[in-house]
Amino acid sequence: MVLTGAGISAESGIPTFRGAGGLWRNFRPEELATPEAFARDPKLVREWYQWRRGVVREAQPNAGHVALAELERRVPEYLLVTQNVDNLHERAGSSKVTHLHGSIFIDRCIECGREMSPVPEEHCACGGWLRPGVVWFGEPLPEAAWQEAAAAAQCEVLLVVGTSALVYPAAALIPQAQACGAKVIEVNLEETRVSDAVDVSLRGPSARILPELL
Ligand code: BV8
């Protein structure tokens, strides 16, 4: 199993959640990625997602995304679990991907629940506000995605790439895999709260290290 976070997309020019450059109009992502922020100012939150959609559309998958797509072709039992809401894993060729936190390329009506590809309109035909199809802080993860990830965590090797391992329950997959006897390899620019607990912690940019690992 592979668990990725915002760090794997950093070298594609997509700001991470907690690193430098993650701000938008001086708002921190945690302030905007909540149901309360959307309820308070849906226009502002929608603008932030429209901006992020543009950044992702402009971005290209990097060598790290490509290496994971190749790894999938070589490993018979494999699942890529991502916390990211961008589509760079899929654009790099990964097909066995589970999004724990949803996708930025879905709009969902808060009234009728209809889902659609992102539209410029702010409201659904039924009049309800359109929100992005992502999991905000305080919202439960999609049950199916979580179950898939929890099952895949019973693995021989867990590769953890570009995550600060701060957000739960995604971060809980790491000790869960270890409890099942998995060897855990971390790839991160910096030391994280799990670096001491994993079996191997490789320090450096994932776009360089993942091709080397492959
Ligand atoms: C839930 C989608 C319950 C939106 C995101 C206290 C303790 C435990 C938990 C909690 C707590 N208080 C609150 C909680 C719960 C909360 C949580 O975990 N909060 C954290 C902040 C403490 N979790 C939730 O709310 C979750 N839901 O618990 O629901 C529930 C149950 C039933 C019913 C009702 C409720 C929902 C969490 C999902 C939130 N949504 N994203 C959007 O994107 O707009 S999370 C967001 O953070 C992104 O998805 C991101 O992926 C994720 C994790 O962050 P990282 O990916 O790790 O990114 P970060 O910037 O932190 O780190 C980047 C890393 O990359 C760094 O380590 C850096 O060194 C490294 N890096 C940078 N460049 C590179 C690199 N590495 C390699 N190469 C490079 N080039």
Over the stretch 91-130, which tens digit does the pLDDT of each residue have? 999 999 999 999 999 999 999 999 999 999 999 999 999 9
Query: Which pTM does this prediction carry?
Result: 0.97
Range of the domain at 126: 2-213
The tally of domains found in the chain comes to: 1
pLDDT of residue 90: 98
Alpha helix positions (H), 1-133: 7-10, 29-32, 35-40, 42-58, 63-74, 88-91
The answer to whether residue 101 is catalytic is: yes
Is 36's C-beta closer than 6 angstroms to any atom of ligand 1?
Answer: no
Compute, in angstroms, the gap from residue 168 CA to the centroid of ligand 1: 7
Over the stretch 13-60, which tens digit does the pLDDT of each residue have? 999 988 877 778 888 898 999 999 999 999 999 999 999 999 999 999
Distance separating alpha carbons of residues 158 and 71, to the nearest angstrom: 13
Compute, in angstroms, the gap from residue 125 CA to the centroid of ligand 1: 32
Over the stretch 132-172, which tens digit does the pLDDT of each residue have? 999 999 999 999 999 999 999 999 999 999 999 999 999 99
Task: Please identify, by atom number, the ligand 1 atom nearest to the C-alpha of residue 163.
Answer: 57
Domain of 68, CATH number, reads 3.40.50.1220
pLDDT bucket at 181, cuts 50 / 70 / 90: very high
